[in-house]
């Protein structure tokens, strides 16, 4: 008997039954297809405007910085003015998905549209969604949004449309399940910059991932 | 690692004399404990979530074979591979075989208690594969060549000077006069050193917080982002996890995740929660070429269907450690294996045997704080009592202790006689105490108890006799 059969048969013996009955199997398939509704935090059950405010407040609580701009055309200038706060302003790598999304050159930026390499100091990526209940960004992997951008550079800048902010994680999953491309390989839920408390239980930012997280919310 | 749980008493005694450890453990009271309380109170749904999480996990365990098969089918569908391993030896071999097939020389690892459980690092080292821990705490204890002392904060027993010494001794190519006094300097140095290791690794090994049957995804939670670099950069990603980690759907996962960070560190949500499924896809610019899930049993399936099944709901948040007065005094190393505190005292006897670990279920005052804070509502004190019963049945306690227990049990089943003895005992002790200032510094048969404190003498009659005499108020 191989290990797979051995483990499964031990499980079945311990549960006091053999192979599952057709009825039990149907029950499990049904449970997988239609999970019961979760209890979700009441604080996130508010109007879309309030959800955007809650998202920004919760994100700030975990040391993200947040700025709101009126239209997509304002994004490059917002990114540029954030980056000049650092001396020297770091070079920028951007998700290929953002190429042509707006006029980067007009803001004096010349991002490399590629995955991040070890030398890249700052990355800008688009978010699929924001979750108001904890100020969490939902970032999906795809050929034009590689995962490395979210973790290698010191500075992580994320562009999020206000209409993509939802109340709860469950709403984000509903939108992901509805994607024509199906479930992405990687779903990164990001809540603030990287941190650790492993030295004397004192929180410090910038452990292995980004030292800082800046979120640009696009209202229009 | 080889368990040394049989030496719990000696380990606990050493721990009590270790001033640095006591200072570190003292911080639990103001740190994790307070933060968990604040986070739980901030969420009115918290108690309801605990009920739902308990029920969904019970349902999953009752159908564990089906959910594991569903998970496996989804992993395979996306180009991944699932390896079932009945014990530690089998899991170690599977992982080594994958590393060898990939021609791996270095392996980055994201903190995994299951990897500690199967003693993966020494095994890989013996076979010329170098494992590098990347969680900061786990990296520190790897440099010091010692086991974790806490399941989510492995280096909680150390202070900044211990860490600086470990870095000085191991980062030999850095200037010896560099300043390493501040946690910030220590963290920046670890970040720079480990970044090179991340980029060079051939294989990345992570644990799993949850397995999602619906999608074949593995959910991984970190604050540092080290799991993400571990699984994204190397050519091969191996997930090593216990069979009990599966939940039905993504929605179910969110119920558990809403409890996890709040119970563990008091955060609303950890910095990085990642759901990953399968190897890199056509057109992807990163991600591993191979995706393996090693499903470890190692004694877990034997816990199903019995009095320890509830323990399989555990999500390793460490709330029970953080709130345990015994853990708070003895620290994790005294427990002698990977898992410590109340969850370790229940799990260790099940996984390494009661002969080795029979002291652990006794290392508890049964105060019940662990059950009160457990997000999965695991009845830890009840299970500690189950282990004590088995210990007694297997004649593991010393003869004198068993004789005393048997005598007590005989009396306890005869209430009238019991009361007679209790009344006489109290009166006798009160009489004896008259000349001793009302306290006993020493008592025959109770030397262990009086070694560290005095026994106050009873001053009156037993509760039951007062009750019987109609005295209902003080």
Q: Do A162 and A122 reside in the same domain of the chain?
A: yes
Q: How far is B251 from chain A (nearest CA, A)?
A: 6
d(CA B384, CA B360): 9
Number of domains in chain A: 2
Give the closest residue to B151 by CA, choosing from B242, B218, B76, B213.
B242
Q: Do A25 and A68 reside in the same domain of the chain?
A: no
Alpha carbon B404 to its chain centroid, in Å, reads: 32
**How high is the pLDDT of residue B416?**
92
Token readout for B424 is: 């006489």
CATH superfamily name and code, B31-298: NagB/RpiA/CoA transferase-like (3.40.50.10420)
Query: A6, A9, A11: which to substitute to probe chain B, counting the most B Cβ within 10 Å?
Result: A11
For residue B88, what is the nearest residue in chain A, using CA coordinates? A3
Token readout for B238 is: 């191996």
* B140 touching A (Cβ < 8 Å): yes
Residue B434 predicted with pLDDT over 90: no
Tell me which chain A residues have a C-beta less than 8 angstroms from the C-beta of B257.
169
Which of B68, B83, B254 minimises the CB distance to A38?
Answer: B254
Query: Are the Cβ atoms of A188 and B272 closer than 8 angstroms?
Result: yes
Query: B269, B280, B293: which to substitute to probe chain A, counting the most A Cβ within 10 Å?
Result: B269
Tell me which chain B residues have a C-beta less than 8 angstroms from the C-beta of A136.
269, 273
CB A148 within 8 A of CB A119: no
Which of B254, B274, B286 minimises the CB distance to A188?
Answer: B274
Query: Are the Cβ atoms of A7 and B183 closer than 8 angstroms?
Result: no
The kind and range of the H/E element at B393 are helix B380-393
**How high is the pLDDT of residue B270?**
98
Tell me which chain A residues have a C-beta less than 8 angstroms from the C-beta of B267.
62
For residue B199, what is the nearest residue in chain A, using CA coordinates? A118
Query: Are the Cβ atoms of B255 and A38 closer than 8 angstroms?
Result: yes
**How high is the pLDDT of residue B427?**
86
B8-60 residue pLDDT tens: 999 999 999 999 999 999 998 889 999 999 999 999 999 999 999 999 999 99
Q: What is the DSSP string of B34-88?
A: HHHHHHHHH-TTHHHHHHHHHHHHHHHHHTHHHHHHHHHHHHHHTT-EEEEESSH
Query: Are the Cβ atoms of A15 and B283 closer than 8 angstroms?
Result: no
Query: Are the Cβ atoms of B223 and A195 closer than 8 angstroms?
Result: yes
Whether the bond into B313 is cis, omega within 30 of 0: no
Which of B156, B187, B302 minimises the CB distance to A14?
Answer: B302
A53-65 residue pLDDT tens: 999 999 999 999 9
CB B133 within 8 A of CB B109: yes
Could you tell me the pLDDT band of residue A88, with boundaries at 50, 70 and 90? low
Query: Are the Cβ atoms of A15 and B233 closer than 8 angstroms?
Result: no
**How high is the pLDDT of residue B143?**
98
Domain boundaries, chain B: 31-298, 302-397, 400-468
Q: Do A24 and A110 reside in the same domain of the chain?
A: no
B88-143 residue pLDDT tens: 999 999 999 999 999 999 999 999 999 999 999 999 999 999 999 999 999 999 99
Q: Do A31 and A122 reside in the same domain of the chain?
A: no
**How high is the pLDDT of residue B463?**
83
Please state the φ and ψ torsions of residue A174, each to the nearest 5 degrees.
-60, -40
Q: How far is B254 from chain A (nearest CA, A)?
A: 7
Burial of A26 (0-12, 13-18, 19+ CB in 10 A): exposed
d(CA B207, CA B238): 8
Strand partners, A160: A217
Q: Do A112 and A151 reside in the same domain of the chain?
A: yes
Q: Do A75 and A31 reside in the same domain of the chain?
A: no
Query: What's A78's domain CATH number?
Result: 3.40.50.10420
Mean pLDDT of chain B: 95
Query: Are the Cβ atoms of B228 and A188 closer than 8 angstroms?
Result: yes
d(CA B181, CA A148): 32
Residue A89 predicted with pLDDT over 70: no
B336-375 residue pLDDT tens: 999 999 999 999 999 999 999 999 999 999 999 999 999 9
Query: Are the Cβ atoms of A208 and B214 closer than 8 angstroms?
Result: no
Q: How far is A75 from chain B (nearest CA, A)?
A: 25
Q: How far is A204 from chain B (nearest CA, A)?
A: 7
For B:234-293, CB contacts with A below 8 A are 243, 248-252, 254-255, 257-258, 265, 267-281, 283-287
What does the DSSP 8-state code read for residue B6?
G
B41: left (phi over 0), alpha (psi -120 to 50) or beta: alpha
What average pLDDT score do residues B284-310 get? 97
Query: Are the Cβ atoms of B64 and A191 closer than 8 angstroms?
Result: no
Q: Do A11 and A78 reside in the same domain of the chain?
A: no
What is the ipTM score, two decimals? 0.97
Q: Do A25 and A111 reside in the same domain of the chain?
A: no
**How high is the pLDDT of residue A196?**
96
Q: Do A177 and A84 reside in the same domain of the chain?
A: yes
B36 or B455: whose pLDDT is higher? Answer: B36
CB A62 within 8 A of CB A92: no
**How high is the pLDDT of residue B304?**
96
Query: B75, B133, B225: which to substitute to probe chain A, counting the most A Cβ within 10 Å?
Result: B225
* B159 touching A (Cβ < 8 Å): yes
Tell me which chain A residues have a C-beta less than 8 angstroms from the C-beta of B76.
none
d(CA B360, CA B345): 5
Tell me which chain A residues have a C-beta less than 8 angstroms from the C-beta of B250.
173
B242-281 residue pLDDT tens: 999 999 999 999 999 999 999 999 999 999 999 999 999 9
For residue B200, what is the nearest residue in chain A, using CA coordinates? A118
Query: B39, B134, B228: which to substitute to probe chain A, counting the most A Cβ within 10 Å?
Result: B228
What average pLDDT score do residues A144-165 get? 97
Structural domain of A20: 1-36
Of all residues in chain A, the percent with pLDDT exceeding 90 is 91
Could you tell me the pLDDT band of residue A87, with boundaries at 50, 70 and 90? low
Q: What is the DSSP string of B285-354?
A: SSS-SEEEEEEE-TTSGGGTTSTTGGGGG-----HHHHH-HHHHHHTTGGG-SS--HHHHHHHHHHHH-H
CB B375 within 8 A of CB B260: yes
Q: What is the DSSP string of B7-32?
A: GHHHHHHHHHT-HHHHHHHHHHHHTH
Query: Are the Cβ atoms of A200 and B251 closer than 8 angstroms?
Result: no
**How high is the pLDDT of residue B474?**
62
Q: Do A16 and A48 reside in the same domain of the chain?
A: no
What does the DSSP 8-state code read for residue B284?
-
For residue B189, what is the nearest residue in chain A, using CA coordinates? A207
């Amino acid at each position: 008997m191989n290990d797979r059969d051995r483990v499964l048969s031990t499980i079945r013996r311990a549960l006091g039954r053999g192979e599952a009955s057709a009825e039990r199997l149907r029950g499990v398939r049904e449970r997988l297809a239609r999970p019961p509704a979760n209890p979700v935090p009441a604080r996130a059950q508010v109007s879309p405007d309030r959800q955007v405010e809650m998202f920004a407040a919760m994100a700030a609580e975990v040391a993200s910085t947040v700025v709101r701009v009126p239209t997509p055309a304002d994004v490059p200038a917002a990114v540029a003015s954030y980056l000049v706060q650092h001396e020297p302003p770091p070079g920028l790598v951007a998700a290929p998905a953002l190429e042509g999304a707006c006029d980067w050159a007009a803001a004096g930026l010349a991002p490399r549209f590629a995955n991040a390499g070890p030398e890249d100091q700052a990355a800008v990526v688009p978010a699929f969604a924001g979750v108001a209940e904890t100020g969490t960004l939902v970032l999906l992997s795809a050929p034009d949004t590689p995962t490395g951008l979210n973790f290698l550079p010191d500075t992580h800048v994320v562009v999020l449309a206000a209409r993509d902010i939802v109340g709860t994680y469950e709403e984000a999953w509903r939108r992901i399940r509805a994607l024509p491309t199906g479930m992405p390989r990687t779903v990164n839920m990001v809540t603030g910059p990287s941190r650790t408390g492993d030295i004397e239980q004192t929180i410090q930012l910038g452990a292995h991932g980004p030292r800082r997280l800046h979120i640009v919310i696009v209202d229009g | 690692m080889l368990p040394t749980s049989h030496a719990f008493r000696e380990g606990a005694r050493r721990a009590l004399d270790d001033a640095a450890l006591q200072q570190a453990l003292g911080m639990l009271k103001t740190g994790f404990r307070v933060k968990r309380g604040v986070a739980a109170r901030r969420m009115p749904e918290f108690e309801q979530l605990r009920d739902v999480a308990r029920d969904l996990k019970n349902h999953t365990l009752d159908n564990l074979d089906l959910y594991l098969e569903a998970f496996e089918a989804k992993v395979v569908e996306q180009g991944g591979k699932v390896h079932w391993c009945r014990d530690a030896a089998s899991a170690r071999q599977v992982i080594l075989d994958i590393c060898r097939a990939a021609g791996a020389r270095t392996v980055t690892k994201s903190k995994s208690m299951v990897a500690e459980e199967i003693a993966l690092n020494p095994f890989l080292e013996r076979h010329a594969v170098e494992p590098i821990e990347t969680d900061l705490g786990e990296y520190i204890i790897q440099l010091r060549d010692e086991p974790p002392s806490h399941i989510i904060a492995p280096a909680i027993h150390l202070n900044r000077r211990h860490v600086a010494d470990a870095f000085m001794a191991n980062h030999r190519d850095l200037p010896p006069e560099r300043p390493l006094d501040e946690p910030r300097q220590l963290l920046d140095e670890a970040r720079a050193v480990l970044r090179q290791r991340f980029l060079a690794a051939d294989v990345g090994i992570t644990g799993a917080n949850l397995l999602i049957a619906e999608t074949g995804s593995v959910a991984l939670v970190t604050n540092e982002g080290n799991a993400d670099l571990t699984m994204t950069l190397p050519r091969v990603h191996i997930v090593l996890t216990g069979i009990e980690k599966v939940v039905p759907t993504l929605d179910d996962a969110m119920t558990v995740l809403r409890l996890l960070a709040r119970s563990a560190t008091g955060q609303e949500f950890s910095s990085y929660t990642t759901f990953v499924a399968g190897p890199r896809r056509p057109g992807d610019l990163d991600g591993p070429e191979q995706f393996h899930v090693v499903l470890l049993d190692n004694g877990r399936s034997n816990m199903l269907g019995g009095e320890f099944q509830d323990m399989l709901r555990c999500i390793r948040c460490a709330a029970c450690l953080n709130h345990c007065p015994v853990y708070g005094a003895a620290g994790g190393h005294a427990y002698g294996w990977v898992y410590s505190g109340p969850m370790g005292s229940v799990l260790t006897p099940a996984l390494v045997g009661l002969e080795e670990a029979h002291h652990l279920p006794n290392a508890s005052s049964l105060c019940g704080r662990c059950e009160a804070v457990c997000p999965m509502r695991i009845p830890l004190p009840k299970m500690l009592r189950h282990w004590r019963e088995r210990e007694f049945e297997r004649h593991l306690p010393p003869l004198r202790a068993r004789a005393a227990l048997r005598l007590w049990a005989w009396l306890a089943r005869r209430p009238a006689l019991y009361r007679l003895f209790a009344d006489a005992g109290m009166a006798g002790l009160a009489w004896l105490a008259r000349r001793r200032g009302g306290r006993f510094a020493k008592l025959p048969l109770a030397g262990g108890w009086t070694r560290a404190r005095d026994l106050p003498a009873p001053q009156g009659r037993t509760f039951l006799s007062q009750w019987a005499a109609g005295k209902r108020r003080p």
